A = this chain, B = another copy of it.
Amino acid sequence: MAAIAAEPTLVKKNYLTALREALIEEMRRNDQMICQGEDIGMLGGAFGVTEGLLDEFGSTRVIDAPIAEAAIIGTAVGMALNGKTVMAEMQFIDFISCGFDQIVNMMATYHYRTAGEVNLPVVVRGPAGGYGGGALYHSQMNEAWFCHSPGLRVVVPSTPYDAKGLLKAALRDGNPCIFFEIKELYRKNEIAEVIPDEDYIVPLGQAVIRKEGTDITFVSYGQSVYHCMSAAAELEKLGVSAEVIDIRTLVPLDEETIYKSLSKTNRVVVVNEAPMTCGFAGEIVARIANNAFNLLDAPPARVTRLDTPVPWVKPLELHVLPSVEKIVRVALQTAKY
């Protein structure tokens, strides 16, 4: 029988599988890597992102931690200080508040305090975001707290390809990183995609244009990217051509891609799920206003969560979170300005 050349597998993979593969491949590649978090071993994680890790890598490298977020982060810092690469899972990113001091004061500043002697390859990752009826404590997008704490990378992938490539990049970057996974995307079939079998990374700090357009620019990340895509489709029908930028990493931020788009469209709407005040949408608006003022033909707008917690029942939740409808409305105002 004649040998058949190996064909790349063309199976589509979801966002969660992509993340899981990233962890497994990095654990194989780097025997100095440790994973720890609540229920990540025997259970395989609340959502299954760490499924199979304990079996393959054993309980020294895959730690079922006590319910103690501050210790999970603090011990990760110690392991990294002593040469390890650590993935620390928050069961929900909302619980990161319980380990807040260790992140912003201990971990984020270690490289700075030691004038570079110490660097900490620690990725703190966990499921984030609203629209799932998770209520106040299972819906947060609290990335702004960390963007405001110098020394942390902040990453929010929106596709399986990016999820895998960015998680690998974050684990290899050598700086501490807060990695926001969008739990509503974990098993969403519509966004499953074929991803390369070969090792690849998506470099931190590179935005991507999800859809080209000429009249208005949407800047967003995470779930909001899909809302922007839907809004762009609506707008297309109304004769407005929207460009959609997915920034992917918030720190570092690829401003060039934004300004380049703006030099074409001269109008921008920034969309994210976090509360408005001091959120990252405001930061992008501020940078645009500071640095690209002369490119603007209309006020740089933002569509964000209202300044409220995320309430539980559906009508309330949808009322406070951004919707395609709201985005379209603001985009039309901006386009007509």
Contacts and interface: CB of A to CB of B under 8 A. Distances in A.
Given A136-B105, A298-B293, A148 B150 contact: no
A200 interface: no
Given A101-B100, A136-B113, A278 B147 contact: yes
B98 A101 contact: yes
Interface string A276-316: 01111111011111110110101111100001110100000
Interface string A119-153: 00000000000000000110000101101111100
A148 B289 contact: no
A334 to B, nearest CB: 10
User: Which size bracket describes the interface of A in this complex?
Assistant: 35 or more
A189 interface: no
Interface string A5-27: 00000000000000000000000
A275 interface: yes
Interface in A241-265: 251
Nearest to A250: B277
Nearest to A136: B109
A298 B288 CA distance: 13
Interface of A: 94, 97-98, 100-101, 104-105, 108-109, 112-113, 136-137, 142, 144-145, 147-151, 251, 274-275, 277-283, 285-291, 293-294, 296, 298-302, 307-309, 311
